Amino acid sequence: MRDVMTDACGIIFLDKPLGWTSRKAVNEVSRLFSVPGKKRIKAGHAGTLDPLATGMLPILLGDATRFAEMGLQAEKSYRVSFDLSYQTDTLDCEGKVLSSFNDVVSRQQLEAVLPAFRGLITQVPPIYSAIRIDGKRAHDLARKGQDVEMKAREVTIHQLDLIAFEYPMVTLEVSCSKGTYIRSLARDIGEKLSMGGCVTHLRRLSTGGWPELIMVSMQVLSEQKGTCLVSLAQWLREFERVDLQPDEAKRFLQGQRIQLKGTTADTQLKDETVAVFADDSVIGTGLLKAGLRHMVLHPARILPSAQKRYL
């Protein structure tokens, strides 16, 4: 049986603690899976969470880091609470209060504006965000007092449900496309009501459809890390699977195209990304294209650990 600490490759769905940056979370998970005295295992996350936020932060280890974009590009869902009575410079309760509002709005008024925020919408990201402007993080520029101009972007709100409302507090559940800023959504809903919209609580419930139940706390992870690691094969679950024989696997890992003899070329099919397996283990991903007689597998991403095993 392999040593999970020296051969870790997979994903931890961490329930990120309140107050932690995403980078701190990655560093702590990497430390747990690294061998003391040896080089830290490579690790990265699949979608930043603010320190104020808790919830699902997929952390990829080892060769799995090559597939972080699957989380970055994925649909995400959140539960957010925000206060309509004030607004801050950071759009959350950790910032400096810029304005306060004394009026009161009803549930009916709130429900009347929500449809405008479903579907394809345009939003301006917060200046206190990790977006890069001329190579520098927007939040770093904002903290230095520099003027930061954020460009509007289109995002999609797939689902927006009102969970609770007791003025001034609103709680929503939101399912949205990549690039959506929930703080901006709260701000814009508040502005539509001529009110504030300061986020007081934010929790990511899901990334890419992965269920809440798969999340683990740092305490559980510290005690049971070997059982918490989700395999790379599961992470690539949405891709069709192609299995190669050992000789084919060697050629694939050398960057060669593989004719899949048991197939018939179908020129009507679009090029398809597939997960490539050998001996029931992921060795990389490839692009499946129609050849003259057979479908042809073109290497896309090759796992270094697989090269070590086969070459």
In the predicted structure, residue 28 carries a pLDDT above the cut 70: yes
Sequence-separated (6 or more) residues with CB below 8 Å from residue 181: 123, 125, 126, 129
Residues 179-192 have a mean pLDDT of 96
Q: Which residue has the higher pLDDT, 227 or 140?
A: 227
Q: What confidence category does residue 118 fall into, taking pLDDT thresholds of 50, 70 and 90? A: very high
Q: Would you say domain 239-310 falls under CATH 3.40.1080.10?
A: no
Whether the Cβ atoms of residue 51 and residue 16 lie closer than 8 Å to each other = no
Residues 178-203 have a mean pLDDT of 97
pLDDT above 90 as % of the chain: 80
Q: How much is the pLDDT for 2?
A: 42
Q: Report, as residue numbers or ranges, the catalytic residues.
A: 50
Residue 114's Cβ-count burial label (10 Å; 0-12, 13-18, 19+) is middle
Mean pLDDT in the chain? 92
pLDDT above 70 as % of the chain: 93
C-alpha of 153 from chain center:
18
pTM of the entire predicted model: 0.90
Each domain of the chain, given as residue ranges in start order, spans 10-73+210-234, 79-199, 239-310
In the predicted structure, residue 242 carries a pLDDT above the cut 60: yes
Q: Would you say domain 79-199 falls under CATH 3.40.50.2020?
A: no
Domains 10-73+210-234 and 79-199 share a fold: yes
Whether the Cβ atoms of residue 249 and residue 310 lie closer than 8 Å to each other = yes
Q: How much is the pLDDT for 141?
A: 66
Q: Which CATH code, of 3.30.2350.10, 3.40.1410.10, 1.10.238.10, 1.10.10.10, is assigned to 10-73+210-234?
A: 3.30.2350.10
In the predicted structure, residue 157 carries a pLDDT above the cut 60: yes
Whether the Cβ atoms of residue 113 and residue 192 lie closer than 8 Å to each other = yes
